[in-house]
């Protein structure tokens, strides 16, 4: 077994271990019946609103792939892009190692529609950059406007937190400047990256930021049902949870997201709200995306069989003639 595989499996084991431990710490004081009652206490209006924000986020996520497809100069239609994006990300965000799992699914679809392995790799890379840019902008917003909560969790001064927030904006501005003026590939040691055109870079910033803002709104909505939660504080909790997820590599952020949000929000984050958010943003899309992927796979195989049968018939007719 290669070192890369050992490292990958090791990270998965550690991630599941951290997730299990944090889930235990978060839920150990609550019985299953208490958790169910806490979820039931969330008014239908708030659940519907949270579902709406989650839907908006997944629509934005299709924009990540749209930007990547246009980056490789493909004219693939949006419906196909949206299908590949939703299936890949609805499954990848839940099972963990999203870059690998969603990347494999993207390759299955985009390769079927005529793209090369290099094209798919570039789409996955640009989507990852969009994630980073979107999170950087939202991080900058919450750290500049609400440095107190971030400072208390990270044990840093409010001035330091604001400096980090401003740095997030500067990084985003630098990315746009490079997209506008750099015409040769960006080189960092042996790694090279061709900057997208400015219009694609601007789309990345806008779509990426709106996406994460919608996810934070989804989280805030389920918490607001039982407490007076400001959007800014909920967004701060979401940003810090994502930082913790990046450090721990927990699959789908399981356990890490719940523990971090609970730590930042305190009693404002009820157990029911954490479960509701997990179900709405992760589980429901997963249980839609998984059967949808099986249906699409069946369609692909049927069409392939028909083409093979048609080719065989044509060859037979030619041979007979």
Q: Counting beta carbons within 10 angstroms of the beta carbon of residue 138, is it exposed (0 to 12), middle (13 to 18) or buried (19 or more)?
A: buried
Q: How far apart are CA 309 and CA 316, in angstroms?
A: 10
The pLDDT tens digits for 76-97 are: 999 999 999 999 998 888 776 5
Q: Tell me, what DSSP letter sits at residue 194?
A: P
192's enclosing H/E stretch is strand 191-193
CA distance 80 to 91: 17
Lowest mean pLDDT among 131-135, 153-157, 189-193, 294-298: 189-193
CA 293 to chain centroid, in Å, comes to: 18
**pLDDT-derived band of residue 9, with 50, 70 and 90 as boundaries?**
very low
Contact assessment for residue 74 and residue 115, using Cβ atoms and an 8 Å cutoff = yes
Distance set, CA 192 to CA 165, 188, 189, 195, 258 (Å): 27, 6, 8, 10, 37
CA-to-CA distance for 154 and 163, rounded, in angstroms? 14
The Cα–Cα gap between 58 and 214 comes to: 9
Q: In the chain, which residue ranges form alpha helices assigned H by DSSP?
A: 3-27, 32-40, 44-71, 78-95, 98-112, 117-145, 147-154, 158-181, 198-224, 231-248, 256-265, 271-278, 284-320
* Contact call for residues 104 and 302 (beta carbons, < 8 A): no
Pick from 10, 125, 143: which is nearest to 67 by CA?
125
**Residue 227 clears pLDDT 50, i.e. is over it:** yes
Greatest mean pLDDT range, 8-22, 24-38, 285-299: 285-299
Predicted TM-score (pTM) of the model is: 0.85
What is the average pLDDT across 199-215?
Answer: 96
- Write down the pLDDT at residue 242: 84
List the structure tokens of 243.
């930082």
Please give the helix or strand (H or E) that residue 187 lies within, else none.
strand 186-188
Q: What is residue 2's predicted lDDT score, i.e. its pLDDT?
A: 59
266 pLDDT exceeds 90? no
| Residue 203 near residue 67, CB atoms below 8 Å | yes
Mean pLDDT, to the nearest integer, of 176-188? Answer: 87
């Amino acid at each position: 077994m290669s070192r890369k595989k050992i490292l990958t499996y090791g990270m998965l084991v550690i991630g599941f271990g951290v997730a299990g431990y944090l889930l235990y710490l978060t839920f150990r004081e609550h019985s299953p019946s208490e958790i169910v009652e806490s979820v039931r206490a969330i008014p239908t209006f708030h659940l519907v609103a949270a579902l709406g924000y989650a839907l908006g986020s997944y629509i934005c996520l299709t924009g990540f792939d749209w930007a990547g497809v246009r980056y490789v100069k493909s004219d693939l239609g949006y419906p196909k892009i949206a299908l590949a994006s939703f299936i890949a990300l609805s499954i990848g965000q839940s099972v963990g190692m999203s870059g690998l799992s969603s990347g494999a699914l993207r390759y299955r679809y985009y390769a079927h529609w005529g793209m090369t392995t290099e094209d798919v790799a570039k789409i996955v890379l640009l989507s990852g950059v969009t994630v980073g840019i979107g999170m950087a902008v939202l991080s900058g917003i919450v750290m500049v406007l609400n440095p107190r909560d971030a400072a208390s969790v990270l044990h840093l001064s409010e001035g330091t937190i604001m400096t980090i927030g401003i740095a997030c904006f500067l990084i985003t501005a630098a990315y746009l400047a490079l997209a506008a003026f750099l015409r040769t590939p960006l080189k960092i040691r042996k790694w090279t990256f061709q900057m997208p055109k400015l219009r694609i870079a601007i789309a990345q910033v806008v779509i990426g930021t709106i996406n994460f803002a919608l996810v934070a709104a989804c989280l805030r909505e389920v918490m607001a049902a039982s407490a007076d939660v400001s959007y800014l504080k909920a967004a701060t909790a979401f940003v810090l949870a994502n930082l913790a997820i990046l450090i721990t590599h927990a699959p789908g952020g399981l356990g890490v997201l719940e523990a971090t949000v609970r730590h930042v929000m305190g009693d404002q984050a009820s157990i029911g709200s954490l479960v509701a958010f997990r179900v709405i943003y992760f589980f429901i899309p997963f249980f839609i995306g998984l059967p949808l992927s099986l249906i699409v796979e069946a369609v692909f195989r049927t069409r392939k069989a028909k083409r093979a049968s048609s080719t065989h018939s044509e060859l037979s007719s030619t041979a007979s003639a």
